[in-house]
Amino acid sequence: MFSLTDRVAVVTGGGRGIGRGIVLALADAGAHVAIADIDLPAAEATAKEVEARGRRALVARVDVTDDESIRAGIAAVREAFEGIDILVNNAGVVQDHSDAQVDADDFDHCFRVNLRGIWAMTSAVVPCFQERGGGKIVNIASIAGRRGGALAPYSASKAGAISLTQSQATALGRDNINVNAVCPGLLWTPMWEKLEGIFVGDTHSDTVSRRKVFDSYIQASCPLRREQTPEDVGQAVVFLASDGAKNITGQALNVDGGIQMN
């Protein structure tokens, strides 16, 4: 039921971290995958892993804040695969500074990547879906978007991503396009390491100490007492992109071990 055999997926930020986990889960389910990222070496390494699974892969240099690079990237995907069935808007950034020090550029960049980036990618891909008679969009938000707290720009951009998911689901349902969000919880990726640098600063500058802080967050906040992984998020995306989820749209699914229960 959750097979994606020969579907074509585009994953933004698919080179590393959660995006890489999503790409590999889609490939394991049978999809061919285009990796749209600004980090080409990471994207090329992940593309090789897709090909090792017997699927086709394409790397497109796409900056989701740059409309021209989106247009060129989507054109390259269409030329290579003759269509697109699945879009995963995963590319995201966390702010560079704590809320006390965040500046307007930092705030704007968070919103341009995490929110406008979803809108711009979706706008570029929807005509391809309309030609195919439908499609699936999965937006990667965050549990930080469920409730405001520390990280004001990041949390607000992710709350916006959940709201945008609902608006897009409303507007695109008539075109047989499902739009859902996944809200990951706590994952040890390069983004998390940066976050901890902002939060705990130099006191825990080495990886071993940062890992301890991360583990203590898990134990304190997560009912299942285990960290979440890119593979976990990938499995949720495969489900939402599959025919098994054909009547699910406008939803946000937490993959967080029970940290948020709404």
Which listed range, 100-108, 183-191, 217-225, 242-250, lies at the site for ligand NAD (CB under 6 A)? Answer: 183-191
* Whole-number Å distance between alpha carbons of 125 and 136: 10
Asked if residue 89 lies in contact with residue 137, where contact means CB atoms within 8 angstroms, the answer is: yes
Within 13 Å of residue 173, how many CA atoms lie on the same side as its CB? 13
Residue 173 CB, shortest distance to ligand NAD, in Å, is 24
* Whole-number Å distance between alpha carbons of 80 and 65: 23
Q: Does 64 bind ligand NAD (CB under 6 A)?
A: yes
* Whole-number Å distance between alpha carbons of 157 and 207: 28
Binding-site member from 74, 88, 113, 128 for ligand NAD (CB under 6 A): 113
Burial class (CB in 10 A: 0-12, 13-18, 19+), 56: middle
* Whole-number Å distance between alpha carbons of 64 and 173: 24
Give the DSSP H/E element, type plus range, for residue 33. strand 32-37
Quote the tokens at residue 253.
Answer: 């699914």
Cα dihedral value 235, 178, 17, 255, nearest 10: -50
Which residue in the list 81, 129, 154, 188 is annotated as catalytic?
A: 154
Which listed range, 60-68, 121-129, 164-172, 173-181, lies at the site for ligand NAD (CB under 6 A)? Answer: 60-68
Q: Does 184 bind ligand NAD (CB under 6 A)?
A: yes
217 as an active site residue: the answer is: no
Q: Does 191 bind ligand NAD (CB under 6 A)?
A: yes
Residue 48 CB, shortest distance to ligand NAD, in Å, is 15
Q: Does 146 bind ligand NAD (CB under 6 A)?
A: no
Residue 2 CB, shortest distance to ligand NAD, in Å, is 21
* Whole-number Å distance between alpha carbons of 143 and 153: 14
Q: Does 140 bind ligand NAD (CB under 6 A)?
A: yes
Convert residues 200-239 into a mask of x (bound to ligand NAD by CB under 6 A) and - (unbound). Answer: ----------------------------------------
Query: Looking only at residues 68 through 97 of this chain, which bind ligand NAD when binding is defined by CB under 6 A?
Result: 90-93
Quote the tokens at residue 211.
Answer: 């890992």
Binding-site member from 31, 110, 126, 186 for ligand NAD (CB under 6 A): 186
- List residues binding ligand NAD (CB under 6 A): 12-13, 15-19, 37-39, 42, 62-65, 90-93, 113, 140, 142, 184, 186-187, 189-192
Catalytic residues: 154
